[in-house]
């Protein structure tokens, strides 16, 4: 697969091509150690390769499992179950303390699940064990997670966490839409959030993060805008955005109805609102901070993202990433405690799967996670792997630079604004060769089909929320650079007709003229500006758009291809020139469009008073009709 194919495949499977690596639980099975008697010695030898690492302790308890949750969580547990789990966890920590003796611990997170669901006594036991068993380096900030409900109703726990030495606390708000919270199986209200924040501040925390989520099928832009505004008013030091990833969740079946454009638009919306409110982040980064010089993330995550610092995960289903191996604890697959308990009682490391990794897989994992911050630190990469990043990924770096997806500055390769919009196509460029092939095949079976995905989208689409009757503009831009005429098309990143080729265009705003709308949409979707627009006609067939009653006013333009620079944007995931050929036979016309191996075509019957599309292969809406009319109008 060449870079363009990988990039387009990532955009096609945008719900799965993200910072999580590997792609599936089965991805690394070819590397797996199957003889469990060899695991302990292997782990001991692996941790001789580094002098420093981070710790992650997993607490798998929640009041109930949210429908969007992909993590290892046990719900409806009682105190006896939690006490037993802590006993087992402490024994696992003791095993690792012997393996990691003398190693410097440079980051520590107590996560979940909901760590603060544990009793104060159990929180004390875990924290005391961390301090006693491991060599925590001076200045390491202990980080912990809570929920609004616990922070609001159990202030003594929040104060206890602070007294135990935790100085960063993260609270998952996700959304303030009570309707959406109910659909997602989560509790929340304004009074709960405000009490929670008050108790967190009273406890003494001055490094406070709020998590928000976006990209849900039934989450409107208005819902998300209100959530961001409300989170800002709570005045945390940091706000982290998580796009719902769907994989492995109870709502995975809704994924196909959520377009890449919706996710891109909601991130842009949040980015603009947060930066205007004093929160800083480079474009594409997930965590925003209003503390100068602070990335906003825990030491554990910051070092993992920038430097690829290895870490040991302890607890049910926890993940570990060494210098050259990846492992998942028991419970990762079945989300139950029985096998984890049995391993601990037998004195074994409770590892479910462990994979010695080829260097290219370790590289792919580090680089995938690096995109959480939307940049790759070239010196950190060289220190971790002894390789020059730009040389190792020569073709990929050339591709992202040439397509203005990334840029080099101050020893780092950064996502551009264009690259942030297309991050799901950028990340897979740096996968291993095996994972690039896997991406192409692994998720095709998960798709329920274009028709089903569009139905999901339409079920959630509310035209009442939009200006009616809806008026759109479409623009046929013809290019002249040689003897052949070419037509500029965009590939749609939004339903309906997602991934189909179409003319640039979109809905007009209530305060602009048709011509202004056409010029704006053309610039936003293709980067082409300042062209003379020729009116072509109006298109008002009742069923021309499955979203509802949409009338389009079409325009044509003829440009010098050498004088314009095409760059896809907005809800266009690609923009390309297609050679166009039009043949006439009586009252029938055949339109053929070609760009490399990609070919689109349509057959139309045109009379003095009507134009009927007889066949259509690959073009969205009724754009074949507009293309023919524009071609004839422009006298090409």
pLDDT digits (tens, 9 = 90+) for 261-308: 999 999 999 999 999 999 999 999 999 999 999 999 999 999 999 999
Q: Rounded CA gap, 18 and 323, in Å?
A: 22
263 token code pair: 């996710």
In a domain, 250, yes or no: yes
Share of the chain above pLDDT 90, in %: 80
Count up the domains in the chain and report the number.
Answer: 4
Mean pLDDT of 429-456: 83
The mean pLDDT value for 610-617 works out to 94
E-state strands within 586-622 = 588-595, 598-606, 611-617
What is the distance between the alpha carbons of residues 470 and 473, in angstroms, rounded to a whole number?
10
- 378 part of a folded domain: no
pLDDT single digits (tens) 442-455: 776 665 577 788 88
**Residue 137 per-residue DSSP state:** P
CA dist., res. 364 & res. 589, Å (int): 50
Average pLDDT in the 381-392 region?
Answer: 98
For the chain, how big is the Rg over CA atoms in Å?
Answer: 27
Instruction: Give the confidence band of 498 by pLDDT, cuts at 50, 70, 90.
Output: very high
pLDDT at position 610 is 84
Residue 36 lies in a domain: yes
In a domain, 471, yes or no: yes
Answer yes or no: do 10 and 105 share one domain. no
If asked whether residues 250 and 314 sit together in one domain, one would say: no
pLDDT of residue 402: 97
Last residue of a domain, one of 410, 434, 460: 460
At 400-411, the pLDDT tens digits run 999 999 999 999
Tokens of 368: 């995938």
pLDDT in tens, 314-337: 999 999 999 999 999 999 888 899
How much is the pLDDT for 333?
A: 84
Range(s) of the domain holding residue 469:
461-633
Burial 255-287 (b: 16+ CB within 10 A, else e): bbbbbbbbbbbbbeebbebbeebebbbebbbbb
**Residue 367 covered by a domain:** no
What tens digit of pLDDT does each residue of 7-47 get? 999 999 999 899 999 998 899 999 999 999 999 999 999 99
- Residue 601 DSSP symbol: E
Q: Are 71 and 85 in contact (CB under 8 A)?
A: no
Would 380 be classed as within a structural domain?
A: no
Whole-number percent of the chain with pLDDT over 70: 98
C-alpha angle 511/514/518, rounded to 5°? 110
Residues 6+ positions from 232 with CB-CB distance below 8 Å:
239, 273, 274, 277, 279
Can you read off the two tokens belonging to residue 423? 């991050």
What local confidence, expressed as pLDDT, does residue 76 receive?
Answer: 82
- Alpha-carbon distance 153 to 505, whole Å? 51
CATH code (residue 169): 3.30.750.200
Residues 226 and 264 in one domain: yes
Give yes or no: residues 244 and 176 share one domain. Answer: yes
Domain end among 268, 291, 314: 291
C-alpha span between 387 and 568 (Å, rounded): 33
209 and 123 in one domain? no
C-beta pairs of 384-387 under 8 Å, 24+ apart in sequence: 384/307, 384/308, 385/359, 387/363
- Is residue 362 included in any domain, yes or no? no
- Phi and psi (nearest 5°) for 99? -70, -35
Q: Cα–Cα distance between 86 and 1 in angstroms, integer?
A: 48
Same domain, 41 and 133: yes
Any domain includes 245: yes
Q: 135 versus 561: which is more confidently predicted?
A: 135
Q: Are 376 and 412 contacting, i.e. CB atoms less than 8 angstroms apart?
A: yes
First to last CA, the chain: 37
Give pLDDT, residue 468: 80
- With vertex at residue 363, the alpha carbon angle to CA 360 and CA 368, rounded to the nearest 5 degrees, is 125
* 55-107 residue pLDDT tens: 999 999 988 777 777 778 888 888 999 999 999 999 999 999 999 999 999 99
> What's the whole-model pTM score?
0.87
Q: CB atoms < 10 A from the CB of 62, how many? A: 20
């Amino acid at each position: 697969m060449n870079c363009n194919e990988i990039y387009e495949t990532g955009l096609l499977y945008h719900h799965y091509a993200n910072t999580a690596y590997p792609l599936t639980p089965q991805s690394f099975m070819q590397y797996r150690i199957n003889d469990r008697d060899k695991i302990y010695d292997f782990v001991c030898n692996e941790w001789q390769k580094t002098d420093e690492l981070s710790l992650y302790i997993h607490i798998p308890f929640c009041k109930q499992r949210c429908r969007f949750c992909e993590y290892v969580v046990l719900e409806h547990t009682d105190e006896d179950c939690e006490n037993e789990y802590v006993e087992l966890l402490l024994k696992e920590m003791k095993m690792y303390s012997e393996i990691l003796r003398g190693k410097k611990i440079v980051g520590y997170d107590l996560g979940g699940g909901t760590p603060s669901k544990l009793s104060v006594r159990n929180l004390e036991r875990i924290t005391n064990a961390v301090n006693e068993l491991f060599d925590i380096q001076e200045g390491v900030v202990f980080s912990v997670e809570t929920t609004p409900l616990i922070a609001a109703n159990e202030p003594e726990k929040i104060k206890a966490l602070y007294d135990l030495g935790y100085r960063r606390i993260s609270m998952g708000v996700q959304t303030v839409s009570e309707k959406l919270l109910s659909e997602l199986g989560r509790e929340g209200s304004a009074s709960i959030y405000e009490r929670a924040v008050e108790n967190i501040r009273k406890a003494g925390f001055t490094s406070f993060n709020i998590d928000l989520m976006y990209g849900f099928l039934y989450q409107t832009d208005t819902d998300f805008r209100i959530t961001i505004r409300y989170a800002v008013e709570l005045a945390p030091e940091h706000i982290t955005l998580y796009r719902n990833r769907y994989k492995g969740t109870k709502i995975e079946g809704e994924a196909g109805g959520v377009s890449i454009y919706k996710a891109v638009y909601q991130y842009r919306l949040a980015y603009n609102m947060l930066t205007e409110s004093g929160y800083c982040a480079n474009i594409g980064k997930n965590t925003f901070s209003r503390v100068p010089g602070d990335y906003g993330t825990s030491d554990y995550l910051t070092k993992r993202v920038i430097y690829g610092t290895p870490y040991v995960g302890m607890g049910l289903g926890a993940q570990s990433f060494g210098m050259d191996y990846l492992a998942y604890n028991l419970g990762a697959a079945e989300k139950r405690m029985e096998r984890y308990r049995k391993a601990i009682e037998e004195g074994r490391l409770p590892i479910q799967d462990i994979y010695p990794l080829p260097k290219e897989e370790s590289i792919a994992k580090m680089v995938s996670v690096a995109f959480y911050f939307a940049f790759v630190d070239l010196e950190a990469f060289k220190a971790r792997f002894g390789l020059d990043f730009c040389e190792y990924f020569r073709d990929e770096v050339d591709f992202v630079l040439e397509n203005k997806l990334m840029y080099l500055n101050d020893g780092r390769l950064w996502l551009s604004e264009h690259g942030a919009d297309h991050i799901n196509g950028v990340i897979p460029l740096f996968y291993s060769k095996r994972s690039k092939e896997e991406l192409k095949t692994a998720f095709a079976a998960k798709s329920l089909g274009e028709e089903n995905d569009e139905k999901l989208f339409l079920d959630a689409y509310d035209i009442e929320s939009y200006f009616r009757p809806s008026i759109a503009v479409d623009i046929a831009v013809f290019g002249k650079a040689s003897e052949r005429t070419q037509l500029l098309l965009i590939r749609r990143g939004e339903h309906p007709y997602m991934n189909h080729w179409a003319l640039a265009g979109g809905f007009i705003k209530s305060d602009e003229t048709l011509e202004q709308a056409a010029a704006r949409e053309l610039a936003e979707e293709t980067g082409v500006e300042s062209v003379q627009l020729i009116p072509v006609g109006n298109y008002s067939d009742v069923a021309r758009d499955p979203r509802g009653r949409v009338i389009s006013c079409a325009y044509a333009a003829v440009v010098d291809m050498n004088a314009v620079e095409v760059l896809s944007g907005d809800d266009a995931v690609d923009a390309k020139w297609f050679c166009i050929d039009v043949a006439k036979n009586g009252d029938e016309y055949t339109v053929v469009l070609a760009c490399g191996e990609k070919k689109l075509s349509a057959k139309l019957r045109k009379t003095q008073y009507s134009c009927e599309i007889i066949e259509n292969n690959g073009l969205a809406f009724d754009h074949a009709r507009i293309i023919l009319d524009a071609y004839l109008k422009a006298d090409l």
